[in-house]
Chains A and B, each alone.
Chain A
Amino acid sequence: MKRIFSNMTFTISFIVISTIVVRFYFSDFAEALASEPDFFPPDEVLPIASCQEWTENVRNFDVTDEEKAEQITVLMYHRIIDDEDIEEFHFDDNGNLFSTILVKSEFEKQMDLLLEHDYTTLTSLELQLFLMGQLDVPKNSIVLTFDDGFKDNYNEAYPILKEHGFTALNFMITSAISLNDRKYKANEFQYLSVSDIESSCDVFEFQSHTYNFHQRTFNQAAFMEFKPREEILEDLEKSITNLANQNRSFAYPYGAYKDESIEILEEAGFEMAFTVEYRDAVPGDSLYEIPRKEVYSDTTLDVFKEKINLKD
């Protein structure tokens, strides 16, 4: 009897004290475990300075007044996933493919279409000069952009772009870059690794989509709109450091920005910024509010043709 009593007293007091200890430290451990892995270090510099030099070249298109473009469509993509890799993970609660996912076969058709119609993909610098009225570009010019820097951009989109001789802007959330390369898995949220970035440096222009400000507060306010100026600036500077001081262009996370955002971008040294306003870009547009047209998962080829103003 006495033995059972002392065993119980001992055990219960142990459980109580353990629970107190666990509860006291739980959040610290949970936080440390959750945040410990894989933030690309803010002071790490991607080895892309030399392989991105091509983005500084401006082509002379030598176009007649008639062939000159009046407006440019800037297309926006997120993820490109092979049709065979599509599974439940990629569908939303209503059973629709997430709008940010485009299957590879559709992407390939779109690129084929662009190639068929002799489209030229512009670099960010060429677009900038066009918008400033300092460069004439052919009518069938286009700008391809990818947001967030998903790993499939390298595994699926890159080979197609390269094959078609196209270039594209890739706006990376630089904190998500993984230092070590991992096996590509379509059913995870994987981001570009350092080696992916190095290998695709000839096709992608790597630009900033913040270091780690692609987030919303619990009130759904985007960090770019909500956070104090200094914090935003600090975050942007980290991404610029990661990108080997490349700071020509920026894409607003969620397309969210306010007047002050533009000042902050200017202060950080960015020369242009992309929104998600759905229209074509024309000379005279604000360089910090460049519109883009998103390509959705359900965009058919006909709708795509409309997007790029292609009439046949």
Chain B
Amino acid sequence: MLLKITLALFSIFILFQLIYIFVPLFTVKNKLNTKMIKEKEKGISILVPAYNEEKVILNCVQGILHLDYENHETIIINDGSKDNTLQLLKENLQLEPTFKRLPAVKIPHEDVREIYQSALYPKILVIDKENGGKADALNAGIEYAKKGIVITLDADSVLDPKSLTAINSTFNDDLVLAAGGMVHIGQGFRGNYSKPKTTFLTSGIIRFQIIQYLTAFYLHKLTQTKMKSLTVIAGAFGAFRKRTLFEIDGFRKTVGEDMDITLRIQRLIKMKYRKHKLVFVPNALCYTECPETYRDLFSQRIRWQKAFVDCALMYKTSFFKKLGFRLSAFFLFESLLLGTINAFTVILIPVILILNHQYYMIALGLFTATFVLSLYQSIAMLIVSKRFDLHFSNKDYRRILRFLPFEILTYRFMGLLFVIIGTVAYFINKDQWNTATRTGKNYQVFGDEEVVLKPRRISA
């Protein structure tokens, strides 16, 4: 019986892996996406919630200042930071209180202390408000946003200069209600932001995340978009129609507000706007800073898993009926069953099978299949990445190919452990979740001639 359950689960696992390998491989055309035509610019408001982000917020601002796009505004929401985030912004942007902005008064949020506008860059506003969490900060941002498209951007993320152009053309399609951008690991790039160069000469923990992000976005999210089953628009870089956000009353205060808002929009589509859609935009890039220590990675992944379990429980009555079959299948089978439940069995089954010595060939067989699938998925990822114009040097390709077999055996196994611990932790202590610590290291520079402001620390 146990063996049959194992093999049934494993078959589903193989099925999804094959979909994730072959759908992108056969649908992504060569470099089609790099052609970006200048179109009429739609208004875009970029919202950056910031809580204790003094180490990274200026990088984020740098990215915004270098955007190759005119019709946008940026609203940084200082969510009651206890560090010098606000002072940093005030000094570097020459913030001045403004009374020109009024809220839409549609979504409640914590009190706003003051609205500032930058004297240097009038497109940048800063809202200083009482602490209320990320969702609350975003809601405040939506209230004051003036443009029709709202981008949510993490403070540790830096937008690619062409990212808004890509978002703009995506929203040319009236049926698109929301879109997720491609999030790259910042540490995987060197050189100039306007022409970043990939690098794989970095620590294992970052290499693992580079491969994981590329796979998650270029294979998984791309496939999910094709299947109309996108389960999460990454909080680091998402784009929404403002009217849609108002229609679903903004973000909800929860551990994983990004998955929550994605599912609520999916539900809205299923219930009300049958033909509308959520898409992943592979050529709208941003660079985010990933954890560099096991400790930080651990707390980030625990937070993600808690957010996931929270959403799974929150939407348990909505699956199938209100969220549709395909999305529910992806969410339940792929993410919940294979991602979470399977993590428990994957760790247990080899033990059981090996103890029951007649099954050791079965254990070995499952392992071999997993290994081959993982390896092929990573190779497919490299091929697809290349078609999206993401190249590595030959030296780096060799590094990657050497790293992969090792990574599949070690880091991915560690990822499973995080999932297990996160799930258990959710049920033990669901409310507590630590925010990540930022390193504030900046691996890329903007062209020398254009340095607008220098990140600088203010001594506390």
Chain A residues within 8 Å of B, Cβ to Cβ: 2-3, 6-7, 10-11, 14, 17-18, 21, 24-25, 28-29, 32-33, 36-37
Contact = CB atoms under 8 A, between A and B. Distances in A.
A14 B369 contact: no
A29 B3 CA distance: 10
B202 interface: no
Contact of A21 (B25, B372, B383): B372
A197 B29 CA distance: 67
B376 A33 contact: no
Given A21-B369, A33-B3, A33-B7, A6 B383 contact: yes
**Taking each of A14, A17, A21, A29, which has the highest tally of chain B beta carbons within 10 Å of its own beta carbon?**
A14
A7 B28 CA distance: 11
30 contacts: A3-B29, A3-B30, A3-B387, A6-B383, A7-B26, A10-B25, A10-B376, A10-B379, A10-B380, A10-B383, A11-B22, A11-B25, A14-B21, A14-B376, A17-B376, A21-B365, A21-B368, A21-B369, A25-B361, A25-B362, A25-B365, A28-B362, A29-B7, A29-B365, A32-B358, A32-B359, A32-B362, A33-B4, A36-B1, A36-B3
Given A14-B376, A18-B372, A21-B372, A7 B25 contact: yes
Interface in B56-89: none
A37 B369 CA distance: 24
A17 B21 CA distance: 15
If over half of A's interface residues share one DSSP class (helix, strand or loop), that class is named, otherwise mixed; here it is helix
Nearest to A27: B361
B3 A28 contact: no
A17 B372 contact: yes
Nearest to A13: B376
Interface of B: 1, 3-4, 7, 21-22, 25-26, 29-30, 358-359, 361-362, 364-365, 368-369, 372, 376, 379-380, 383, 387
A267 B308 CA distance: 64
A17 B368 CA distance: 11
Given A10-B380, A32-B361, 17 more contacts: A3-B29, A3-B30, A6-B383, A7-B25, A11-B22, A14-B376, A21-B368, A21-B369, A25-B361, A25-B362, A25-B368, A28-B362, A29-B7, A32-B358, A33-B3, A36-B1, A36-B4
A6 B372 CA distance: 18
A36 B26 CA distance: 39
Given A10-B25, A10-B379, A32-B358, A2 B30 contact: yes
A2 B30 CA distance: 9
A192 to B, nearest CB: 21
B372 to A, nearest CB: 6
A193 B445 CA distance: 75
Contacts of B29: 3
B184 to A, nearest CB: 23
Contacts of B365: 21, 24-25, 28-29
- Nearest 4 CB-CB pairings of A with B: A25-B365, A28-B361, A36-B3, A3-B30
Contacts of B372: 17-18, 21
B346 to A, nearest CB: 18
A18 B361 CA distance: 16
B359 to A, nearest CB: 6
A211 B355 CA distance: 25
Contacts of B369: 21
Contacts of B1: 36-37
Contacts of B380: 10
Given A10-B383, A14-B376, A17-B372, A32 B3 contact: yes
A29 B364 CA distance: 11
Nearest to A28: B361
A3 B368 CA distance: 28
A29 B387 contact: no
